[in-house]
Structure 1
Amino acid sequence: MYLGEFDLLPGERLLWSGAPKRYPVFDESDKLFVPFMLFWLAFVGFFTFRASSGGAVLPLVIGLLFVSVGLYVAFGRLFIRWRRLTRTTYAVTDRRVIARCDGKEQTEYLSQIKPPSIKADVNGIGTITFGDVGGWAQLRQAQAKQAQSGKLTPMYHRPLMFIAIEEAERVRGILATAREDSVRKDAP
Protein backbone atom coordinates (compact mmCIF):
# COMPACT_ATOMS: atom_id res chain seq x y z
CA MET A 1 0.00 0.00 0.00
CA TYR A 2 1.29 3.45 -0.87
CA LEU A 3 1.65 5.42 2.35
CA GLY A 4 1.87 8.82 0.69
CA GLU A 5 3.47 11.90 2.11
CA PHE A 6 2.63 13.20 5.55
CA ASP A 7 2.52 16.95 6.13
CA LEU A 8 5.42 17.38 8.52
CA LEU A 9 6.12 20.51 10.51
CA PRO A 10 9.35 22.43 9.81
CA GLY A 11 12.25 20.49 11.32
CA GLU A 12 10.08 17.46 12.13
CA ARG A 13 11.53 14.00 11.38
CA LEU A 14 9.56 10.92 10.34
CA LEU A 15 10.50 7.98 12.60
CA TRP A 16 8.02 5.35 11.34
CA SER A 17 5.08 5.04 8.99
CA GLY A 18 2.78 2.14 8.22
CA ALA A 19 -0.73 0.89 7.68
CA PRO A 20 -2.93 -1.82 9.16
CA LYS A 21 -1.68 -5.27 8.16
CA ARG A 22 -5.10 -6.77 8.85
CA TYR A 23 -8.50 -5.17 8.82
CA PRO A 24 -10.35 -6.40 11.91
CA VAL A 25 -14.08 -5.97 11.56
CA PHE A 26 -14.91 -6.53 15.22
CA ASP A 27 -13.47 -4.74 18.24
CA GLU A 28 -13.99 -5.08 21.99
CA SER A 29 -17.23 -3.06 22.03
CA ASP A 30 -18.88 -5.50 19.63
CA LYS A 31 -18.87 -8.45 22.05
CA LEU A 32 -22.14 -7.31 23.61
CA PHE A 33 -23.34 -4.90 20.96
CA VAL A 34 -23.70 -7.28 18.01
CA PRO A 35 -25.68 -9.94 19.93
CA PHE A 36 -27.97 -7.19 21.26
CA MET A 37 -28.53 -5.89 17.73
CA LEU A 38 -29.33 -9.40 16.48
CA PHE A 39 -31.94 -9.68 19.24
CA TRP A 40 -33.20 -6.21 18.22
CA LEU A 41 -33.52 -7.32 14.59
CA ALA A 42 -35.40 -10.48 15.55
CA PHE A 43 -37.83 -8.53 17.74
CA VAL A 44 -38.39 -5.74 15.20
CA GLY A 45 -38.63 -8.24 12.34
CA PHE A 46 -41.31 -10.17 14.22
CA PHE A 47 -43.16 -6.91 15.02
CA THR A 48 -42.99 -5.80 11.38
CA PHE A 49 -44.19 -9.16 10.11
CA ARG A 50 -47.12 -9.18 12.57
CA ALA A 51 -47.99 -5.55 11.80
CA SER A 52 -47.94 -6.10 8.04
CA SER A 53 -50.24 -9.11 8.25
CA GLY A 54 -53.05 -6.83 9.45
CA GLY A 55 -52.85 -4.70 6.30
CA ALA A 56 -51.99 -1.45 8.10
CA VAL A 57 -49.36 0.61 6.29
CA LEU A 58 -48.04 2.86 9.10
CA PRO A 59 -46.84 0.03 11.41
CA LEU A 60 -45.17 -1.60 8.40
CA VAL A 61 -43.33 1.61 7.49
CA ILE A 62 -42.24 2.18 11.11
CA GLY A 63 -41.16 -1.44 11.41
CA LEU A 64 -39.12 -1.27 8.20
CA LEU A 65 -37.45 1.91 9.46
CA PHE A 66 -36.43 0.12 12.68
CA VAL A 67 -35.24 -2.91 10.69
CA SER A 68 -33.13 -0.61 8.48
CA VAL A 69 -31.53 1.04 11.52
CA GLY A 70 -30.90 -2.38 13.07
CA LEU A 71 -29.27 -3.70 9.89
CA TYR A 72 -26.98 -0.69 9.68
CA VAL A 73 -25.96 -0.85 13.34
CA ALA A 74 -25.46 -4.61 13.32
CA PHE A 75 -23.69 -4.96 9.97
CA GLY A 76 -23.30 -1.68 8.04
CA ARG A 77 -21.01 0.00 10.55
CA LEU A 78 -18.77 -3.11 10.54
CA PHE A 79 -18.38 -2.77 6.77
CA ILE A 80 -17.66 0.95 7.14
CA ARG A 81 -15.01 0.22 9.81
CA TRP A 82 -13.37 -2.34 7.51
CA ARG A 83 -13.44 0.03 4.55
CA ARG A 84 -11.98 2.89 6.61
CA LEU A 85 -9.11 0.69 7.82
CA THR A 86 -8.21 -0.28 4.24
CA ARG A 87 -7.56 3.43 3.54
CA THR A 88 -5.75 4.31 6.80
CA THR A 89 -2.07 5.12 7.27
CA TYR A 90 -0.12 5.94 10.42
CA ALA A 91 3.04 7.89 11.17
CA VAL A 92 5.28 8.61 14.15
CA THR A 93 7.51 11.67 14.07
CA ASP A 94 9.84 13.08 16.67
CA ARG A 95 6.96 15.39 17.76
CA ARG A 96 3.62 13.78 16.86
CA VAL A 97 1.61 10.64 16.14
CA ILE A 98 -0.58 10.83 13.05
CA ALA A 99 -3.42 8.71 11.67
CA ARG A 100 -4.73 9.57 8.20
CA CYS A 101 -7.80 8.25 6.43
CA ASP A 102 -9.28 9.67 3.23
CA GLY A 103 -7.20 12.83 3.49
CA LYS A 104 -8.30 13.61 7.04
CA GLU A 105 -5.61 13.56 9.71
CA GLN A 106 -5.96 12.93 13.40
CA THR A 107 -2.82 14.05 15.19
CA GLU A 108 -1.61 14.28 18.76
CA TYR A 109 1.61 15.74 20.13
CA LEU A 110 3.80 13.14 21.82
CA SER A 111 4.23 15.32 24.89
CA GLN A 112 0.44 15.37 25.40
CA ILE A 113 -0.44 11.70 24.99
CA LYS A 114 -0.39 8.99 27.62
CA PRO A 115 2.23 6.24 27.38
CA PRO A 116 1.47 3.78 24.58
CA SER A 117 0.07 0.38 25.45
CA ILE A 118 -0.06 -2.59 23.15
CA LYS A 119 -2.16 -5.65 22.51
CA ALA A 120 -0.31 -7.94 20.10
CA ASP A 121 -0.67 -11.49 18.84
CA VAL A 122 2.08 -14.09 18.42
CA ASN A 123 2.78 -12.90 14.86
CA GLY A 124 3.74 -9.43 16.11
CA ILE A 125 0.66 -7.76 14.67
CA GLY A 126 -1.00 -5.58 17.25
CA THR A 127 -2.88 -2.45 18.20
CA ILE A 128 -1.28 0.46 20.02
CA THR A 129 -3.47 2.74 22.12
CA PHE A 130 -2.73 5.91 24.03
CA GLY A 131 -4.62 6.03 27.32
CA ASP A 132 -8.11 4.71 28.01
CA VAL A 133 -10.23 3.50 25.12
CA GLY A 134 -13.90 2.83 25.29
CA GLY A 135 -16.83 3.31 27.56
CA TRP A 136 -16.99 5.81 30.38
CA ALA A 137 -13.29 6.68 30.19
CA GLN A 138 -13.79 7.91 26.63
CA LEU A 139 -16.78 9.98 27.65
CA ARG A 140 -14.79 11.58 30.49
CA GLN A 141 -11.94 12.39 28.09
CA ALA A 142 -14.34 14.05 25.64
CA GLN A 143 -15.94 16.08 28.43
CA ALA A 144 -12.51 17.18 29.69
CA LYS A 145 -11.45 18.26 26.19
CA GLN A 146 -14.69 20.19 25.78
CA ALA A 147 -14.18 21.92 29.15
CA GLN A 148 -10.58 22.87 28.27
CA SER A 149 -11.38 24.22 24.83
CA GLY A 150 -14.59 25.97 25.80
CA LYS A 151 -16.06 24.80 22.48
CA LEU A 152 -18.83 22.34 21.85
CA THR A 153 -17.22 19.13 20.57
CA PRO A 154 -18.64 15.73 19.68
CA MET A 155 -19.07 13.66 22.84
CA TYR A 156 -17.88 10.48 21.18
CA HIS A 157 -14.28 11.01 20.18
CA ARG A 158 -12.38 7.83 19.51
CA PRO A 159 -8.84 8.20 20.80
CA LEU A 160 -5.95 7.84 18.41
CA MET A 161 -5.01 4.19 17.89
CA PHE A 162 -2.70 2.31 15.54
CA ILE A 163 -4.84 -0.71 14.65
CA ALA A 164 -3.41 -4.08 13.50
CA ILE A 165 0.09 -2.91 12.58
CA GLU A 166 3.12 -5.12 11.91
CA GLU A 167 5.99 -5.19 14.41
CA ALA A 168 3.80 -3.55 17.02
CA GLU A 169 6.35 -4.06 19.82
CA ARG A 170 9.06 -2.29 17.83
CA VAL A 171 6.71 0.60 16.96
CA ARG A 172 5.70 0.91 20.62
CA GLY A 173 9.40 1.15 21.50
CA ILE A 174 9.89 3.92 18.93
CA LEU A 175 6.83 5.71 20.33
CA ALA A 176 7.91 5.36 23.95
CA THR A 177 11.41 6.70 23.23
CA ALA A 178 10.11 9.58 21.10
CA ARG A 179 7.51 10.44 23.76
CA GLU A 180 10.10 10.50 26.55
CA ASP A 181 12.36 12.73 24.45
CA SER A 182 9.44 15.05 23.63
CA VAL A 183 8.33 15.30 27.26
CA ARG A 184 11.94 15.99 28.32
CA LYS A 185 12.25 18.80 25.70
CA ASP A 186 8.98 20.39 26.85
CA ALA A 187 9.90 20.24 30.55
CA PRO A 188 10.78 23.65 32.09
Structure 2
Amino acid sequence: MADDIRSYLLAGEKVLWSGKPQQGLRFAPIDIFLVPFSFIWAGMAVFIGGQAIWSMPFSLFTLMPCLFVVVGVYMTVGRLVQDIWVRARTDYMLTDRRAVIHRRPAFAGLGSDLVVVDLTRGAQVRFKAGMGDRGSIVFGQEIGFNLFRRANVGQWVPSLDPTARFIGIENARRVFDQIQTLQSRAG
Protein backbone atom coordinates (compact mmCIF):
# COMPACT_ATOMS: atom_id res chain seq x y z
CA MET A 1 0.00 0.00 0.00
CA ALA A 2 1.21 3.47 -0.81
CA ASP A 3 2.22 5.54 2.19
CA ASP A 4 0.20 8.56 1.07
CA ILE A 5 -3.13 6.95 1.95
CA ARG A 6 -2.07 6.79 5.60
CA SER A 7 -1.72 10.57 5.60
CA TYR A 8 -5.52 10.72 5.43
CA LEU A 9 -5.96 9.03 8.82
CA LEU A 10 -7.84 11.07 11.42
CA ALA A 11 -6.48 11.53 14.93
CA GLY A 12 -6.96 8.31 16.90
CA GLU A 13 -8.14 6.34 13.88
CA LYS A 14 -6.84 2.76 13.50
CA VAL A 15 -6.24 0.93 10.22
CA LEU A 16 -8.06 -2.42 10.16
CA TRP A 17 -7.25 -3.38 6.58
CA SER A 18 -5.52 -1.94 3.54
CA GLY A 19 -5.17 -3.20 0.01
CA LYS A 20 -5.44 -2.58 -3.70
CA PRO A 21 -8.00 -3.47 -6.34
CA GLN A 22 -7.48 -6.54 -8.49
CA GLN A 23 -4.76 -5.76 -11.02
CA GLY A 24 -4.65 -6.46 -14.75
CA LEU A 25 -7.48 -7.02 -17.19
CA ARG A 26 -10.80 -7.32 -15.38
CA PHE A 27 -14.18 -7.62 -17.02
CA ALA A 28 -17.37 -6.36 -15.38
CA PRO A 29 -20.79 -7.98 -15.87
CA ILE A 30 -21.84 -5.12 -18.18
CA ASP A 31 -19.07 -6.18 -20.58
CA ILE A 32 -21.41 -8.90 -21.82
CA PHE A 33 -23.08 -6.03 -23.64
CA LEU A 34 -20.22 -3.56 -24.05
CA VAL A 35 -17.66 -5.87 -25.69
CA PRO A 36 -19.86 -6.97 -28.63
CA PHE A 37 -21.28 -3.45 -28.98
CA SER A 38 -17.78 -1.93 -29.09
CA PHE A 39 -16.60 -4.44 -31.72
CA ILE A 40 -19.64 -3.74 -33.90
CA TRP A 41 -19.14 0.02 -33.52
CA ALA A 42 -15.41 -0.16 -34.25
CA GLY A 43 -15.92 -2.48 -37.23
CA MET A 44 -18.56 -0.26 -38.76
CA ALA A 45 -16.51 2.86 -38.10
CA VAL A 46 -13.41 1.37 -39.75
CA PHE A 47 -15.41 0.15 -42.74
CA ILE A 48 -17.29 3.43 -43.27
CA GLY A 49 -14.19 5.51 -42.48
CA GLY A 50 -12.12 3.52 -44.96
CA GLN A 51 -14.76 3.93 -47.63
CA ALA A 52 -14.91 7.69 -47.06
CA ILE A 53 -11.15 8.19 -47.06
CA TRP A 54 -10.42 6.06 -50.13
CA SER A 55 -13.39 7.05 -52.28
CA MET A 56 -13.48 10.85 -51.87
CA PRO A 57 -10.99 13.63 -52.41
CA PHE A 58 -9.51 14.89 -49.16
CA SER A 59 -11.70 17.32 -47.26
CA LEU A 60 -12.84 18.03 -43.76
CA PHE A 61 -15.80 15.71 -44.39
CA THR A 62 -13.47 12.74 -45.01
CA LEU A 63 -11.92 13.24 -41.58
CA MET A 64 -15.28 12.97 -39.81
CA PRO A 65 -15.43 9.16 -39.96
CA CYS A 66 -11.99 9.10 -38.32
CA LEU A 67 -13.61 10.51 -35.17
CA PHE A 68 -15.90 7.46 -35.09
CA VAL A 69 -12.85 5.19 -35.51
CA VAL A 70 -11.16 6.86 -32.52
CA VAL A 71 -14.31 6.39 -30.41
CA GLY A 72 -14.51 2.76 -31.55
CA VAL A 73 -10.90 2.08 -30.57
CA TYR A 74 -11.49 3.67 -27.15
CA MET A 75 -14.67 1.62 -26.58
CA THR A 76 -12.95 -1.60 -27.66
CA VAL A 77 -9.51 -1.29 -26.07
CA GLY A 78 -8.95 2.15 -24.54
CA ARG A 79 -11.51 1.86 -21.76
CA LEU A 80 -9.98 -1.44 -20.63
CA VAL A 81 -6.48 0.07 -20.61
CA GLN A 82 -7.79 3.10 -18.71
CA ASP A 83 -9.43 0.83 -16.13
CA ILE A 84 -6.16 -1.11 -15.65
CA TRP A 85 -4.26 2.20 -15.32
CA VAL A 86 -6.65 3.66 -12.73
CA ARG A 87 -6.76 0.47 -10.62
CA ALA A 88 -2.94 0.31 -10.61
CA ARG A 89 -2.91 3.78 -9.04
CA THR A 90 -5.65 3.10 -6.46
CA ASP A 91 -5.29 2.18 -2.78
CA TYR A 92 -7.94 1.16 -0.27
CA MET A 93 -8.00 1.49 3.49
CA LEU A 94 -10.56 0.42 6.08
CA THR A 95 -10.30 2.10 9.45
CA ASP A 96 -12.34 1.74 12.60
CA ARG A 97 -14.54 4.60 11.30
CA ARG A 98 -14.22 4.97 7.55
CA ALA A 99 -13.58 3.36 4.19
CA VAL A 100 -11.01 5.35 2.20
CA ILE A 101 -10.32 5.13 -1.53
CA HIS A 102 -7.30 7.03 -2.82
CA ARG A 103 -6.49 7.36 -6.52
CA ARG A 104 -3.04 8.75 -7.14
CA PRO A 105 -2.66 11.20 -10.03
CA ALA A 106 -1.37 9.98 -13.38
CA PHE A 107 1.24 12.72 -13.50
CA ALA A 108 3.11 14.60 -10.79
CA GLY A 109 1.53 17.93 -9.99
CA LEU A 110 -2.02 16.81 -10.65
CA GLY A 111 -4.38 16.42 -7.70
CA SER A 112 -5.29 13.00 -6.39
CA ASP A 113 -8.82 11.73 -5.91
CA LEU A 114 -9.96 10.82 -2.41
CA VAL A 115 -13.28 9.17 -1.58
CA VAL A 116 -14.24 8.68 2.07
CA VAL A 117 -17.26 6.77 3.35
CA ASP A 118 -18.20 7.31 6.99
CA LEU A 119 -19.20 3.85 8.20
CA THR A 120 -20.49 5.10 11.55
CA ARG A 121 -23.48 6.81 9.91
CA GLY A 122 -25.17 3.68 8.58
CA ALA A 123 -23.99 3.79 4.97
CA GLN A 124 -25.50 1.10 2.76
CA VAL A 125 -22.85 -1.54 2.06
CA ARG A 126 -23.17 -4.45 -0.36
CA PHE A 127 -20.94 -7.47 -0.92
CA LYS A 128 -20.42 -8.93 -4.40
CA ALA A 129 -18.66 -12.29 -4.40
CA GLY A 130 -16.06 -12.90 -7.08
CA MET A 131 -13.77 -15.77 -8.01
CA GLY A 132 -12.06 -17.51 -5.09
CA ASP A 133 -11.66 -15.23 -2.10
CA ARG A 134 -11.93 -12.07 -4.23
CA GLY A 135 -14.96 -9.84 -4.29
CA SER A 136 -16.13 -6.26 -4.37
CA ILE A 137 -17.70 -4.12 -1.69
CA VAL A 138 -20.05 -1.35 -2.79
CA PHE A 139 -20.74 1.64 -0.54
CA GLY A 140 -24.05 3.35 -1.21
CA GLN A 141 -26.71 2.89 -3.85
CA GLU A 142 -25.48 1.69 -7.22
CA ILE A 143 -26.68 3.53 -10.28
CA GLY A 144 -28.04 1.13 -12.88
CA PHE A 145 -26.73 0.97 -16.43
CA ASN A 146 -28.01 3.64 -18.80
CA LEU A 147 -26.28 4.00 -22.14
CA PHE A 148 -27.29 7.64 -22.47
CA ARG A 149 -26.72 8.89 -18.92
CA ARG A 150 -24.52 11.93 -18.88
CA ALA A 151 -21.34 12.30 -16.85
CA ASN A 152 -21.01 8.68 -15.75
CA VAL A 153 -17.94 7.15 -17.28
CA GLY A 154 -18.21 4.44 -14.59
CA GLN A 155 -20.41 2.30 -16.80
CA TRP A 156 -17.57 2.15 -19.35
CA VAL A 157 -14.64 2.23 -16.89
CA PRO A 158 -15.72 0.51 -13.62
CA SER A 159 -12.84 1.92 -11.57
CA LEU A 160 -14.18 5.44 -12.22
CA ASP A 161 -17.76 4.69 -11.16
CA PRO A 162 -19.08 7.48 -8.92
CA THR A 163 -20.41 4.90 -6.44
CA ALA A 164 -17.60 4.22 -3.95
CA ARG A 165 -16.38 0.61 -4.03
CA PHE A 166 -13.50 -1.69 -3.21
CA ILE A 167 -13.05 -3.55 -6.53
CA GLY A 168 -11.89 -7.17 -6.67
CA ILE A 169 -10.11 -7.19 -3.33
CA GLU A 170 -8.56 -10.27 -1.72
CA ASN A 171 -10.28 -11.68 1.38
CA ALA A 172 -13.33 -9.63 0.45
CA ARG A 173 -15.71 -11.53 2.73
CA ARG A 174 -13.48 -10.94 5.74
CA VAL A 175 -13.28 -7.20 4.97
CA PHE A 176 -17.06 -7.05 4.51
CA ASP A 177 -17.56 -8.81 7.86
CA GLN A 178 -15.31 -6.20 9.50
CA ILE A 179 -17.45 -3.44 8.00
CA GLN A 180 -20.63 -5.13 9.25
CA THR A 181 -19.14 -5.40 12.73
CA LEU A 182 -18.17 -1.71 12.69
CA GLN A 183 -21.65 -0.69 11.62
CA SER A 184 -23.37 -2.84 14.24
CA ARG A 185 -21.23 -1.28 16.98
CA ALA A 186 -21.94 2.25 15.71
CA GLY A 187 -25.69 1.64 15.28
Q: What TM-score bracket applies, with the shorter chain setting the length?
A: 0.7 to 0.9
CA gap 1:61/1:112 in 2 versus in 1, 3 angstroms? farther
Partner of 1:151: none
Which of 136, 144, 148 pairs up with 1:127? 136
Which of 172, 176, 181 pairs up with 1:172? 176
User: Which 4+ residue blocks in structure 1 deviate beyond 4 angstroms?
Assistant: none
2-structure distance, mates of 1:40, 1:136: 19
Q: Which moved more, 1:21-30 or 1:92-101?
A: 21-30
**CA RMSD after TM alignment:** 2.4
**Cα offset for 1:37?**
1.4
Partner of 1:47: 48
2-structure distance, mates of 1:164, 1:106: 17
Q: Which moved more, 1:34-43 or 1:20-29?
A: 20-29
Question: Which letter does structure 1 place at the counterpart of 2:57?
Answer: A
Equivalent residues of 1:48, 1:64 under 8 A apart: yes
Partner of 2:107: none
**Cα offset for 1:132?**
4.0
Equivalent residues of 1:3, 1:17 under 8 A apart: no
What's the CA shift string for 1:122-141, capped at 9, x where partnerless?
2x12211234434259x99x
Query: How do 1:104-143 and structure 2 match up within 5 A?
Result: 104-110=113-119, 111-122=121-132, 124-135=133-144
Count of paired positions: 167
Sequence identity of aligned pairs in percent?
29
> Gapped runs of 5+ residues in structure 2?
105-111, 153-160
1:12 aligns with 2:22: no
TM-score, with normalisation over the residues of structure 2? 0.78
Q: Which moved more, 1:109-118 or 1:161-170?
A: 109-118
1-structure distance, mates of 2:115, 2:16: 17
Q: Which moved more, 1:109-118 or 1:77-86?
A: 109-118
Partner of 2:24: 23
> Gapped runs of 5+ residues in structure 1?
141-153
Equivalent residues of 1:120, 1:127 under 8 A apart: yes
2-structure distance, mates of 1:78, 1:18: 21
CA gap 1:73/1:117 in 2 versus in 1, 3 angstroms? same
What's the CA shift string for 1:79-114, capped at 9, x where partnerless?
010011111110111211111111321111112420
2-structure distance, mates of 1:55, 1:24: 39
Equivalent residues of 2:49, 2:66 under 8 A apart: yes
TM-score, with normalisation over the residues of structure 1? 0.78
Partner of 1:145: none
Partner of 1:71: 73
SS at match of 2:116: strand
Equivalent residues of 2:117, 2:139 under 8 A apart: no
